[in-house]
Copies of this chain bind each other. A is one copy, B any other.
Amino acid sequence: VKVGSRTATVMRVAAVEKPTNWTEKYIKEVPVSLLRPGVDTEDTIRAKFEKVIRDAQDSICAAISEIDGKPFHQDAWTREDGGGGITRVLADGNVWEKAGVNVSVVYGSMPPEAYRAATGTAPADLEKAKAAGGRVPFFAAGISSVMHPRNPHCPTMHFNYRFFQTEDWNGIPGQWWFGGGTDITPCYVVEEDLKHFHGTYKAVCDRHDPAYFPKFKKWCDEYFLIGHRKETRGLGGIFFDDLNDRPAEEILAFSKDAVNHVVEAYCPIVKKHMNDSFTEEQKQWQQIRRGRYVEFNLVYDRGTTFGLKTGGRIESILMSMPLTSRWEYCHEPAAGTPEAEFMDAARHPRNWV
């Protein structure tokens, strides 16, 4: 199956020359599966999760592209150590300045320092396993996306869903966990929009566990805190990590439901505001908020900071950067303005539903 046939929104499959500092190999055709042939059979969670995220990449890109009127560009690559990825970027669009949706499926072995004993391995056992040496066999698959619209009345949106698994290693049984979330970063507080976005995810969560939404909404506010400014990056959504407290099939079903509601949660808000008029001041405010987005991603975001320091594919990792951003010395909106209202919501996270 050629990539081009998976979705009509793909403009071309790049055959970019490999720069000296990347270890990935570009490929012209994306295989039906990036999984390990013969190992990750169709009945595995790995295979099912790959299908979820690749289908989601197709359907989300198609929906965004239809609104924007411009196709995504695609780079597909394989990794020497195992696995590969599909990076799709819509740059300089009509509605979005920059929108990217990445899928990656990688496996191999990692240094023990990277091991997260999510299922509760006793620290002593972990130390013993580390002392025995060697590397931890792992499998990781995920979809991640950031979309930055042009219009300051249209919010930026981010989502990420991932599955991680380790194999038995030095006496520690194999572990697995899911993580992810969808969150929204507007420049202005539009209560109706926030009710729609948060309400969509509350409904998704409630279908799987009524305890999910309050827990994951709070986690989102805490995770996306720009620590040095004591303000959140955006206005929330859901976020979860290390989730493995019930059968994997159930969390897979929840993750699938969540990623499949990105379009419903986000696109109506964009459609509503994409033709709103705006002033130069509003555009500059958006640019300042984009600067905050950069600060969060480069200083705090685990995926970004880990990726940059461990030699991930830089252009895929930094696809989350806005096209443009701005830093003004001591910028603080005047009291009573819509910008000050946003700051209040960023400094004191609210419940929108």
Contacts and interface: CB of A to CB of B under 8 A. Distances in A.
Contacts of A347: 20
Most buried by B among A16, A89, A287, A308: A308
B319 A323 contact: no
Interface stretch (A156-164, A175-183, A201-209, A227-235): A227-235
Interface stretch (A236-244, A254-262, A294-302): A294-302
Contacts of A328: 91, 323
Nearest to A284: B324
B89 A309 contact: no
Interface string A294-334: 11001100000100110100110011011111111110100
A261 to B, nearest CB: 26
Given A229-B314, A324-B326, A298 B309 contact: no
A91 B89 CA distance: 34
Contacts of A20: 230, 347
A324 B287 contact: yes
Contact of A295 (B287, B298, B319, B323): B298
Nearest to A287: B324
A323 B324 CA distance: 10
Nearest to A304: B299
Nearest to A92: B328
Contacts of A298: 294-295, 298-299
A34 B78 CA distance: 58
Nearest to A73: B329
Interface in A1-50: 16, 19-21
Contacts of A318: 295, 327
A101 to B, nearest CB: 12
A315 B291 CA distance: 13
Contacts of A221: none
A21 B314 contact: no
A100 interface: yes
Contacts of A75: 330
Given A229-B314, A299-B299, A325-B325, 15 more contacts: A16-B330, A20-B230, A89-B329, A91-B328, A98-B327, A227-B308, A228-B308, A298-B299, A315-B330, A322-B327, A323-B326, A323-B327, A324-B324, A324-B325, A324-B327
26 contacts: A16-B330, A19-B332, A20-B230, A91-B329, A98-B327, A98-B329, A227-B308, A228-B308, A228-B309, A228-B311, A229-B314, A291-B321, A294-B294, A295-B318, A298-B298, A299-B308, A315-B329, A315-B330, A319-B329, A321-B327, A323-B326, A324-B324, A324-B325, A324-B326, A325-B325, A325-B326
